[in-house]
Structure 1
Amino acid sequence: MPDAHTPAHGEVFGGVDTHTDTHHAAALDHIGRLLGDAKFPATPGGCAQLLGWLTRFGPIAKIGVEGTGSYGKQLAISLRQNGIQVREVSRPDRRTRRSHGKSDVIDAINAARAVISDDKTATPKTADGPIESIRVLRIARGGAVKARTAARNELTNLITTAPAEIRETLRGKQT
């Protein structure tokens, strides 16, 4: 029986390069050979298509997804809801991209290889529960504080450039 780090024969590893409108997926076998690659829409239906496509190659061991906190967030949630182990994969650094090339296919294959070797991967945040609620509240508060500051600065500028008689009646009243 293989240990926890040795991929089992027949297992499929997926990798996904995520974007705003599309996700490019690659399927690799347990020793890293490319079984196929395809592009899917970044929609709930596209996520289901991607999962269906990957399962045609065999039982899925893990899927590495780039950007599980942004472009790949919905995909990661969908995969987890279907019982798939998802790993956050770091985007390759600029030096690696320059030396090995950059394409959606290459990035998807590299994401799959990263999960096979468990190199530079992490468990993605679940984006639910109290921590997510606090994050959303902090974002909303930050936006409100910025809007208040912008409005205050705009009023100050309008008062500064207003005619003298208006400026004198409004001086000190912008709080």
Structure 2
Amino acid sequence: DKEIGPLVTKAAPRLIALPGLGPETAGQLLTSAGDNPDRLRSEAAFAHLCGAAPVPASSGRTNRHRLNRGGDRQANNALHTIVLVRMKYDQRTRDYVARRTAEGMTKKDVIRCLKRFVAREVYRHLPHMIHTTKPLPQIA
């Protein structure tokens, strides 16, 4: 914590300020994003990279989704940790969980939705140097 805290705070101060993100989870998400800069064209691509993109898993009359099992498992674990911390300490998240549970969603489905939300929020707060894309070729 003594070593990674200052490094993460210097690299992404807006990211570390988000509720539920500590130096270790923020460091893992920065590492996952930094290792794959060419894959991060949008927040949906970041969600796929973290394994937090919903995949239809319907059969018969049921209409449901599951999380993508692919992607960076350590980044997915970091998102899961953030969601669990927010479910315990963040009032907005607790209100959301109560509302979605009252609508009939299971805890597992609520966590899936929250992971996708956190992935979207984290992507917006990643340093801009990570968001670089390859330039498009010029057509003469």
- TM-score (normalizing by structure 2): 0.28
Report the structure, 1 or 2, having the larger strand content. 1
**Larger helix fraction of residues:** 2
TM-score (norm 1): 0.24
User: Which one has the largest radius of gyration?
Assistant: 1
